[in-house]
């Protein structure tokens, strides 16, 4: 990192050189720069103010722990939420990430609150088990996992009275999704991909991504400089995901054209501002789920609630799926 380079602000040895910004900074000035820019993005996209109650979804990874650290350092009212997904793999992924989140809270911000929700403890089954029972996602549990995480983050924010829900998505994450949405011209997804999403319904939390303009490399450097111990490994199910393949492609592009990712993302946001993608009208059909009250377009129960009341039973005829009802 920035060997032989000097901080632009003070002339001391630089710890990072950000080619796309033509900016090298020392430890102290880099931390200051990251926090000041986060504050700038929060204001620019009207994410939240000092009076808002922010729930930060922390996974134990560098992005979300760094986000929580930055928000607390900026003086926001920010608590954490860790969701125990029950994913083991060879590294005990969920246990390891839970430990990192707990340790961070204890060592860095002992006065902050970390809420922990264990999916298995609450619903009786961990993510891989739900996936196996419902046969959704055919093998990999990622789509079931995403569904459960979104629902539970919304629910906890609502029940505990947080009006803002913040996730640690960084620029590399956003650009990989944007790339995928653009490749397939998913107009509906493109219309909804944004640094801020308004609350689905009154009482629900606004969703914000304060790190959406920071490169993954900048997030890793921030965590390193701050001494945050985070889980390096991806979820064991992420291996081979298309998303990771797109990230590699985009890294190649960035290497040849520093700033290409940021430019792609910012041009997209500008195009949206100019009305390039308008919200698709089908969102008007949303109504509250009969069981949990969260907005859904499905009749009766939302996709999350259906996961728990439907029992898909194996049978010999591949064309018949027997669905049993039972109380969750």
Contact footprint for ligand FES (CB under 6 A)? 85, 87, 141-142, 145, 235, 237-238
Report how far residue 34's alpha carbon sits from residue 39's, in angstroms, rounded to the nearest whole number. 9
Contact 148, 304 (CB under 8 A): yes
Q: From the CB of 9, what's the least distance to Zn ion, in Å?
A: 4
Q: In what order do the strands lie in the sheet with 77-84?
A: 114-118, 77-84, 53-57, 164-166, 206-208, 196-197
Among 302, 307, 308, 310, binds Zn ion (CB under 5 A): 302
Q: Distances in Å between the alpha carbon of 153 and those of 58, 59, 181, 296?
A: 11, 12, 24, 16
Shorter beta-carbon distance to Zn ion: residue 26 or 176: 26
Q: From the CB of 85, what's the least distance to ligand FES, in Å?
A: 6
- Alpha helix segments (H runs only) across the chain: 27-44, 62-73, 93-108, 119-123, 127-134, 142-159, 171-183, 187-192, 216-226, 242-256, 260-273, 303-309
Q: Distances in Å between the alpha carbon of 128 and those of 81, 89, 109, 182?
A: 21, 11, 32, 30
- Alpha helix segments (H runs only) across 109-168: 119-123, 127-134, 142-159
Shorter beta-carbon distance to ligand AMP: residue 141 or 168: 168
Question: Virtual CA dihedral for 102, 106, 111, 117, nearest 10 degrees?
Answer: 10
Shorter beta-carbon distance to ligand AMP: residue 136 or 149: 149
Point out which residues bind ligand AMP (CB under 6 A): 57-59, 63-64, 81-83, 85, 149, 167-169, 173
Q: Which does residue 237 touch among Zn ion, ligand AMP, ligand FES, none (CB within 5 to 8 A, set by kind)?
A: ligand FES
Q: Which does residue 302 touch among ligand FES, ligand AMP, Zn ion, none (CB within 5 to 8 A, set by kind)?
A: Zn ion
End-to-end CA distance of the chain: 52
Q: Measured at CB, which residue is nearest to ligand AMP?
A: 168
Nearest by Cα to 67 from 195, 191, 242 = 195
Q: Which residue has the tokens 């985009």?
A: 250
Shorter beta-carbon distance to ligand AMP: residue 152 or 310: 152
| Residue 93 burial by Cβ neighbours in a 10 Å radius (0-12, 13-18, 19+) | buried
Q: Which does residue 26 touch among ligand FES, Zn ion, ligand AMP, none (CB within 5 to 8 A, set by kind)?
A: Zn ion
Q: From the CB of 28, what's the least distance to ligand FES, in Å?
A: 34
194 token code pair: 């944004």
Q: From the CB of 168, what's the least distance to ligand AMP, in Å?
A: 3
Binding mask 19-48 for Zn ion (x = CB under 5 A): -------x--x-------------------
Q: From the CB of 91, what's the least distance to ligand FES, in Å?
A: 12
Residue 7 as a binder of Zn ion (CB under 5 A): the answer is: yes
Q: From the CB of 234, what's the least distance to ligand AMP, in Å?
A: 8
Shorter beta-carbon distance to ligand AMP: residue 7 or 168: 168
Q: Which does residue 169 touch among Zn ion, ligand FES, ligand AMP, none (CB within 5 to 8 A, set by kind)?
A: ligand AMP
Shorter beta-carbon distance to ligand FES: residue 145 or 164: 145
Q: Return the residues of window 240-299 that contact Zn ion according to CB under 5 A.
A: 289, 291-292
Q: Which residues bind Zn ion (CB under 5 A)?
A: 7, 9-10, 12, 26, 29, 289, 291-292, 302, 305
């Amino acid at each position: 990192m920035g060997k032989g380079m000097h901080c632009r602000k003070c002339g001391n040895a630089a710890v990072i050189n950000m080619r796309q910004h033509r900016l090298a900074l020392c430890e102290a000035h880099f931390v200051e720069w990251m926090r000041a820019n986060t504050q700038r993005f929060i204001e620019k996209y009207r994410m939240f103010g000092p009076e808002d109650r922010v729930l930060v979804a922390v996974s134990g990874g560098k992005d979300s722990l760094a986000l929580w650290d930055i928000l607390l350092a900026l003086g926001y009212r920010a608590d954490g939420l860790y969701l125990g997904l029950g994913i083991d793999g060879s590294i005990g992924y969920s246990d390891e990430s839970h430990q990192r989140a707990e340790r961070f809270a204890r060592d860095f911000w002992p006065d902050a609150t970390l809420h922990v929700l264990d999916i298995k403890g609450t619903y009786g089954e961990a993510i891989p088990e739900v996936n196996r029972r419902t046969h959704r996602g055919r093998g990999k549990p990622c789509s079931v996992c995403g569904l459960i995480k979104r629902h539970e983050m919304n629910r906890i924010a609502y029940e505990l009275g947080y009006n803002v829900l913040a996730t640690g998505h960084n620029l590399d994450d956003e650009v990989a999704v944007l790339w995928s949405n653009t490749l397939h011209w998913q107009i509906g997804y493109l219309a909804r991909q944004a640094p801020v999403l308004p609350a689905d319904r009154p009482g629900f939390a606004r969703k914000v991504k304060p790190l959406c303009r920071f490169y993954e490399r900048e997030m890793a450097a921030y965590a390193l400089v701050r001494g945050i111990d985070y889980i390096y490994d991806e979820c064991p199910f992420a291996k081979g995901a298309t998303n990771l393949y797109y990230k590699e492609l985009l890294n190649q592009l960035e290497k040849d054209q520093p700033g290409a990712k940021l430019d792609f993302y910012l041009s997209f946001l500008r195009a949206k501002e100019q009305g390039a993608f308008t919200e698709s009208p089908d969102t008007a059909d949303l109504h509250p789920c009969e069981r949990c009250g969260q907005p859904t377009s499905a009749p009766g129960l939302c996709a999350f609630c259906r996961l728990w009341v439907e029992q898909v039973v194996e049978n010999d005829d591949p064309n018949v799926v027997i669905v049993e009802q039972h109380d969750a």
